Amino acid sequence: MRDTLRELLTGQDAAFDAGSLALYTTDASNYRHAPLGVVLPRTADDVVAAVAACRAAGAPVIARGGGTSIAGNACGPGLVLDTSRHLRGVLELDAQARTARVAPGTVLDDLQAVAAPHGLRFGPDPSTHSRCTIGGMIGNNACGSHSVAWGRTADNLESMRVLLYDGTRLTVGTTSRSEADRRAALPGTEGRVYRELRDLVDGNLALLRKELSGWGRRVSGYGLEHLLPENGFNVARALVGSEGTCVTVLDATVALVELPKHRALAVFGFDTDIDAADAVPAILAKNPLTVEGLDIELVGLTGARSSDLPDGRAWLMVELAGETLDEAQQRAHELARRLGRPHVVLTDPAAQRRLWRIREEGAGLATRMSDGSEAWPGWEDAAVPPERLGAYLREFKQLLARHGRKTVVYGHYGEGCLHMRIDFDLLSKSGIAGFRSFLRDAADLIAAHGGSLSGEHGDGQARSELLPRMYSPEMMALFERFKGIFDPDDRMNPGILVRPRPVDADLRLRAANVPVMLGYPHDDGSFAEAMRRCVGVGKCRNTSGGGVMCPSYRATREEKHSTRGRAHLLAEMINGELITDGWRSAEVRDALDLCLSCKGCLSDCPVDVDMATYKAEFQHQHYKGRLRPLSHYSMGWLPLWLRFSAVAPRFANAALRRPRIAALVKRVGGIAAERRLPTFADRPYTRSRKRTSGGKPVVLWPDSFNNYLTPAVLHAATEVLAAAGYDVVVPEKNVCCGLTWVSTGQLGVAKRVLGRTLSVLKPYLDAGYEVVGLEPSCTALFRGDLGHLMPGDETAALLAERTRTFAELLAEAELPLGDLDIDAVTQVHCHQHAELGFTADERLMARAGIRNSTLDSGCCGLAGNFGFERGHYDVSRAVAEDRMLPAIREADPDTVVISDGFSCRTQIAQESDRTAVHLAELVAQALRRPTGDVREPEGSAR
């Protein structure tokens, strides 16, 4: 079947290699299926051709959008059609009619961005809005936080153009009786479809009205209620939530709603989540936009209690709209008086975003319990009528206790839909048997409360087998009949909704492990457990919002260059079915090649995936006993070459200014021809520094970049530290953090280098000295990666504890700083964003009279050795152009550009007409001049 597809799809964006298949074996669910192939259609005609190839080969079709399905309805043993890569965009927008026609792969946030200037938006807004697609939302009948006000996807769909497995194209939507009769009289598939749909409804009106009426979160099963005469015989809406089992969406026309003019977010505190659930009916009477719930466990997983939360152990976030801000606030305060609960009312957008971030990242945060244990979907989004929510939650907690399970509860309380990750054991036979038993009991409980197994994610493999516990045999027969009308051969996402695969089959988790070099202290020393961190929520596929993660995906839009894609490949490498050569895998190597090791995932991924560490591990294992890329010997051993250059720096600089010599060095060193080679300082800092005396001693870390290339930064820091009352101490022997060996996966060398460094630093650490770093990547290594590299080493732990950034050390110091009275923009180093934080820097800037704007510009694109390596320049440049370079160009010429990272400053210097400075240099100027113009430091390479 795969060979037939490969032959039929020659010339299309189709892939059948092991690496491509491995990327699509799973979604955000517990399930795994190796696909037959993957197609990335560019046009609707490409979709038609791909389905025709499947028809000729007898292969199933698996439609896929952002791959964020938690139910397992976007992975299967067929040909995957990934519309998110190319088949995207808003095709038409009619602001007067409040409609938009969109391609199925359009990301929700992209539609919102086009609609917003017209004062409009698409109503449904799942927490994955930055990467979920409209096609996927149609497949699942997605809802989101604002469904209280604006309904489900089905409620906001006008019409669709769809493709059947037999090649028939249909335009479907609301259909009058006369129009339905007209279409039923047509020859061919279209006439048959409408005749059979009409007969299905006419013969079962009472059953459909009895079982499919009720509140809006009944997402499980097919939406046959939309075919009832009183609902306009709407075939498009009936197909919403069919999870790719009936048709493939070619494009869709959706309804838009008017943006509220003003909003207030009222947050109410409760003693328990059950108390919060009991309060929902009273809140709904006030017509809120949202009623979202979260508990103290979820808040605790963020690492800190938000100051925006009132007293309590569970909270409801209630958003209210108004024509004016005063009206919105008044409505919020009126509700607060009625509830009589501790509360805050937030109108500041930044404060509102902080809380929404906790709520939106719940699916990722809740995958690791507070005790570090793993938790999984499975009973992810069951829903009951809101007036039943408190009673249901009480009984559900009793069910959890009987099964010995625990969970974190959050979700759409206003719609009676609760999200949970439960600590199922999915690695042992007995655990899987317990998983199945729990789901059966939970399904019976939800049915007893008149609820739905799924409230927004769809049934998929996670719940399809349980549908007979919710619906009568007669309704299940109608579901099968409906599926057969569109897909009589059962080739559209088979095993979902009807004739289902078992809920406990095809589970993706594996207990297999592999020997590793690094420690993985947060994953019990297990690489396999580290790989289970990625649960597929896909935040790394964000292309429109802020943050750092994931720069290579933002540049290429390819799944294999996302954090999730790389994590899936590494997991498949351990699994060994598709990727069979383990650490020697070329597929994994190539996917990791464009990973910038920026650590954006460590800070931005809700489950703390650390792809930079995994890449270092893979490179170490992959190249063990083999020749490495040339750049590993040049850039990886850069600290050694810099030390050699210090013997005759002027001679080295003169030589490298000769084009032929520079070209030879680049060619031999595996360095991109487009890059300018750095200029070596006349004298490194360690040979030219001024001695200080008196005060509290502190070790100033002489990182290789600043020491040999920009010693002015270290000199400036010395001046400031001395003024703050510190005696600056520099290690007498050569030291190095080993960063360049870590980033190129030369972990054996890195550990030896670090071992020598720790022996040099030990006397200082034992004496109580702190270590202050100026280069964020080196400082972050001491605070973070050192635990992976030297697990159990007491000196390493002490160094991690005593390491400070320049701004952190000066936070409480008395400094005679003048008011520089300048504007600045700051590009924060990715490793500082991930490991160190930036609050202390902003406070220090304010003390020095620097009016700073911190850029939300992501990675600079150079990323140490990455941007210098041959073959990486285009991606490096694209990453910089994504946000950083445009932001710097937009800054006023008099605005100072600040960046502490040597890589960031280099990228800015080489790719723009601006020069960035280190914060230490500006603070030193504030010491020297109470007021006045600030110039870019002179001779920073000298």
Q: What is the pLDDT of residues 209-256, one digit of tens each?
A: 999 987 889 999 999 999 999 999 999 999 999 999 999 999 999 999
Place of tokens 């799944």: 559
The reply to whether 733 and 854 lie within a common domain is no
Give me the phi and psi of 316, to 5 degrees please: -115, 130
Q: Cβ(170)–Cβ(193) under 8 Å?
A: yes
pLDDT value for 938:
47
Q: Cβ(718)–Cβ(724) under 8 Å?
A: no
pLDDT band with cut points at 50, 70 and 90 for residue 930: low
- Dist. CA 419–CA 498, nearest whole Å: 24
pLDDT band with cut points at 50, 70 and 90 for residue 563: very high
The reply to whether 697 and 837 lie within a common domain is no
Q: Cβ(200)–Cβ(218) under 8 Å?
A: no
Q: Cβ(266)–Cβ(320) under 8 Å?
A: yes
The reply to whether 838 and 792 lie within a common domain is no
- Dist. CA 513–CA 528, nearest whole Å: 5
How many domains does one find in the chain? 4
Residue 372 in any domain: the answer is no
Residues 20/110/492/478 CA torsion (nearest 10 deg): 150
C-alpha neighbours within 13 Å on the C-beta side of residue 613: 28
Residues 398/403/405/410 CA torsion (nearest 10 deg): -40
**Which range marks the domain in which residue 47 is found?**
2-82
Q: Cβ(307)–Cβ(355) under 8 Å?
A: no
C-alpha neighbours within 13 Å on the C-beta side of residue 532: 29
Q: Cβ(538)–Cβ(564) under 8 Å?
A: yes
State which amino acid sits at residue 815.
L
Buried b (16+ CB within 10 A) or exposed e, 764-787: bbeeebbbbbbbbbbbbbbbbbbb
Q: Cβ(535)–Cβ(364) under 8 Å?
A: yes
Mean per-residue pLDDT for 27-47? 96
pLDDT value for 940:
42
Q: Cβ(918)–Cβ(716) under 8 Å?
A: yes
DSSP letters spanning 448-496: HTT-BS-SSS--HHHHGGGGGGTS-HHHHHHHHHHHHHH-TT--BSTTS
Which residues touch 340 (CB under 8 Å, ≥6 apart)?
none
CATH code of the domain covering residue 24: 3.30.43.10
The reply to whether 547 and 648 lie within a common domain is no
Buried b (16+ CB within 10 A) or exposed e, 35-61: bbbbbbbeebebbbbbbbbbbebebbb
Q: Cβ(417)–Cβ(293) under 8 Å?
A: no
Mean per-residue pLDDT for 629-655? 96
pTM for this entry: 0.94
DSSP letters spanning 814-861: --------EEEEE---HHIIIII-SHHHHHHHHHTTEEEEE------S
Q: Cβ(711)–Cβ(740) under 8 Å?
A: no
Residues 890/863/643/683 CA torsion (nearest 10 deg): 10
Structure-block tokens of residue 181? 């009769």
Residue 45 in any domain: the answer is yes
**Nearest alpha carbon to residue 317 among 412, 388, 381, 409:** 412
- Dist. CA 460–CA 241, nearest whole Å: 10
Q: What count of other Cβ atoms lies within 10 Å of the Cβ of residue 472?
A: 12
The reply to whether 776 and 664 lie within a common domain is yes
The reply to whether 846 and 910 lie within a common domain is yes
pLDDT value for 247:
99
Q: Cβ(420)–Cβ(379) under 8 Å?
A: yes
Q: Cβ(173)–Cβ(160) under 8 Å?
A: yes
State which amino acid sits at residue 575.
N
Average pLDDT of the chain is 95
pLDDT tens for 263-288 read: 999 999 999 999 999 999 999 999 99
- Dist. CA 701–CA 563, nearest whole Å: 32
- Is the pLDDT at 306 greater than 70, yes or no? no
CATH code of the domain covering residue 830: 3.40.50
Beta-sheet strand order (sheet of 343-346): 343-346, 262-270, 314-322, 290-295, 407-412, 417-422
- Dist. CA 213–CA 218, nearest whole Å: 9
- Is the pLDDT at 937 greater than 60, yes or no? no
The reply to whether 643 and 727 lie within a common domain is yes
Q: Cβ(30)–Cβ(426) under 8 Å?
A: yes
Residue 552 in any domain: the answer is yes
Of 620, 650, 681, at which residue does a domain stop? 620
Q: Cβ(199)–Cβ(212) under 8 Å?
A: no
**Nearest alpha carbon to residue 906 among 795, 761, 780, 775:** 775
Give me the phi and psi of 830, to 5 degrees please: -55, -40
| Ramachandran sector of residue 221 (left: φ over 0; alpha: ψ -120 to 50; beta: rest) | left
Mean per-residue pLDDT for 829-833? 97
Which residues touch 675 (CB under 8 Å, ≥6 apart)?
666, 867, 868, 873, 910
CA 833 to chain centroid, in Å, comes to 15
* Residue 109 DSSP one-character state: H
The reply to whether 906 and 780 lie within a common domain is no
The reply to whether 663 and 788 lie within a common domain is yes
Of 82, 106, 122, at which residue does a domain stop? 82
The reply to whether 802 and 836 lie within a common domain is no
State which amino acid sits at residue 400.
L
Of 806, 831, 851, at which residue does a domain stop? 806
Structure-block tokens of residue 381? 């989004």
Place of tokens 């497949």: 139
pLDDT value for 933:
46
What percent of the chain has a predicted confidence (pLDDT) above 90? 90
The reply to whether 648 and 788 lie within a common domain is yes
Comparing 358 with 446, the larger pLDDT belongs to 446
Place of tokens 């994931």: 550
Q: Cβ(453)–Cβ(466) under 8 Å?
A: yes
Q: Cβ(623)–Cβ(616) under 8 Å?
A: no
- Dist. CA 157–CA 152, nearest whole Å: 9
User: Does 736 sit behind a cis peptide bond, omega within 30 degrees of 0 on the bond before it?
Assistant: no
Please report which helix (H) or strand (E) contains residue 101, including its range. Answer: strand 99-102
Q: Which of 148-157, 298-307, 691-700 has the lowest mean pLDDT?
A: 298-307
- Dist. CA 130–CA 153, nearest whole Å: 16
Residue 536 in any domain: the answer is yes
Residue 700 in any domain: the answer is yes
Burial of 846 (0-12, 13-18, 19+ CB in 10 A): exposed
DSSP letters spanning 759-806: HHHHHHHHTT-EEEESSHHHHHHHHTTHHHHSTT-HHHHHHHHHEEEH
Q: Cβ(770)–Cβ(699) under 8 Å?
A: yes
Residue 555 in any domain: the answer is yes
Residue 573 in any domain: the answer is yes
Distances (CA, A) of 780 to 285, 730, 743, 886, 893: 51, 19, 13, 27, 31
Residue 452 in any domain: the answer is no
The reply to whether 786 and 886 lie within a common domain is no
Q: What count of other Cβ atoms lies within 10 Å of the Cβ of residue 722?
A: 18
Residues 155/159/164/170 CA torsion (nearest 10 deg): 150
| Ramachandran sector of residue 72 (left: φ over 0; alpha: ψ -120 to 50; beta: rest) | left
Query: 3-state DSSP call for residue 693?
Result: coil
- Dist. CA 757–CA 256, nearest whole Å: 61
Q: Cβ(88)–Cβ(136) under 8 Å?
A: no
Q: Cβ(237)–Cβ(487) under 8 Å?
A: no
Query: 3-state DSSP call for residue 622?
Result: helix
Q: Cβ(135)–Cβ(65) under 8 Å?
A: yes
pLDDT tens for 743-767 read: 999 999 999 999 999 999 999 999 9
- Is the pLDDT at 454 greater than 70, yes or no? yes
Distances (CA, A) of 170 to 164, 251, 252: 8, 11, 12
